[in-house]
Structure 1
């Protein structure tokens, strides 16, 4: 599959990955367009993509989604949300003024799991061909303004606003795993939240399977089996993923020694930290830190 950016018919006026650090940019990618009437070919994309209409007047738009064709009036303050994996094509008949946000499914899954305590379903986001959502549009405008403002602290502002945007997106359009379906064998959403809270509090120290099982009230063997079935990762892998996510934040502090970050995130030593970090991200901690 291609990315949405591969087939844009015009250049964006502003792109987040040109402005902010990788740590902030990996949350979501924002591009702003004021584009003349044009057409995009039909493709299946690797990312979720979300269009936020900033025009003050309605415009005629055509959108193809798999086998469906829609010829509609795109109203001010409306959004169009297309999950990854849907064949999508566009034609707009008037000059657009739109924010395009693209999100990688793996990133959204990590964000929902590690920061919201939610487990997204396989589809992650609901297919939303058209919806009035002025609040989400305004959140997009705030992100855009943070990009335009190159003052000190604007990147931190962008990252904070990106997290707020993702929370709203998941709350309104996220497809969560059904507790009745996925948690039917004794591991509930409440169990998962207890584990997440425990790991968030204790990740800097040793964490055993027995301790994680104890907070759920399950035996270690039963807990390990159910956790793997429901979450998709072993409890050990979940803890490693969480530690690496926390380490990414700390690597933004350029003067902080890697050995200090390793210990702060619960790794045995710097070598252990480097080995796990590279296995999960494809980069060494040092290379990741320099890219921030």
Structure 2
């Protein structure tokens, strides 16, 4: 049975983004900061990705077991270990740890890559990136950690902004892209995806129908629907709806902007249509969601 990383780490985190009032629980990632005496963690399988950023200035010996294979190495400052969701992993460290652990929901990562970076990720995502050195990513992690020390509106805004920066850097440098050569029942490439996404962005405030999306990539509607769902994991129109809601959430950060105006700018017929669709995707009404973010 998969367990949460924080449930089996041998010490409590010094900082935990999930416990802070002004950091959105619906954000892109969770962050925990640990310092722990030499110890070990038993092998476990997790449903989320874990990105471990080493801040310890003194090189120290570490053992990491990954799917039954033991890796015994010296851990240096600014080195990073990524444990993908679904991988059995265990740890032992022989000196005091000083680490940031970033937890990522694979579904949110894939969605962010789709909509923000026009990337189609391989289903394995980070499977081939066990250990690498990246001072830039570690610096972004430290900024995130420091934003948690003061639980206020400003730090919450900083945390959410920097979480996007860290995820963009991680995906652009180490995200495993889907190979164009992978054959589906019919071909749907990154070029097709980018054209669809550009079409949606340019017509966000307008009605978008399946036939228009299919025509944009030169396919029949039935053919397009099939290969889109096989590649992206959702139907084209479900994707359009989720994209409209995502853009609405960004606009809602401007607390002076009326919900009715946001509804029209994101292509909803009226505020009632917006509310129903928003609740369908997020489980909350726009008014409740916005109130929780600014509380």
> TM-score, with normalisation over the residues of structure 1?
0.90
SS state at 2:188 partner: coil
1:80-103 CA deviation, whole Å, 9 max, x = no partner?
Answer: 110011111112221111111110
Q: Tell me the equivalent position of 2:146.
A: 145
Correspondence list, 1:1-292, <5 A = 1-19=2-20, 21-23=22-24, 26-148=27-149, 153-182=154-183, 185-292=186-293
CA distance in 2, matches of 1:268, 1:72: 58
SS state at 1:179 partner: coil
Query: Is contact 2:43–2:88 with CA below 8 Å preserved after alignment?
Result: yes
Query: Is contact 2:79–2:131 with CA below 8 Å preserved after alignment?
Result: yes
> What's the RMSD between the two structures over aligned residues?
2.3
SS state at 1:41 partner: strand
Query: Is contact 2:23–2:156 with CA below 8 Å preserved after alignment?
Result: no
Shift of 1:22: 4.8
Deviates more, 1:44-53 or 1:25-34: 25-34
Query: Is contact 1:251–1:288 with CA below 8 Å preserved after alignment?
Result: no
SS state at 1:123 partner: coil
Q: Which runs of 5+ in 1 are unaligned?
A: none
Shift of 1:210: 2.5
CA distance in 1, matches of 2:34, 2:14: 6
CA distance in 2, matches of 1:139, 1:112: 18
SS state at 2:186 partner: coil
Shift of 1:122: 1.4
Shift of 1:188: 2.1
CA distance in 2, matches of 1:82, 1:114: 24
Pair 1:21–1:266, CA change in 2 (3 A): farther
Deviates more, 1:114-123 or 1:247-256: 247-256
1:37-78 CA deviation, whole Å, 9 max, x = no partner?
Answer: 222222111110011111111112122212112222111111
SS state at 1:131 partner: strand
Shift of 1:184: 7.9
SS state at 2:114 partner: helix
> TM-score, with normalisation over the residues of structure 2?
0.90
Aligned residue pair count: 292
1:155-195 CA deviation, whole Å, 9 max, x = no partner?
Answer: 33322221121111112221221111156834321111011
Shift of 1:151: 7.3
Q: Which runs of 5+ in 2 are unaligned?
A: none
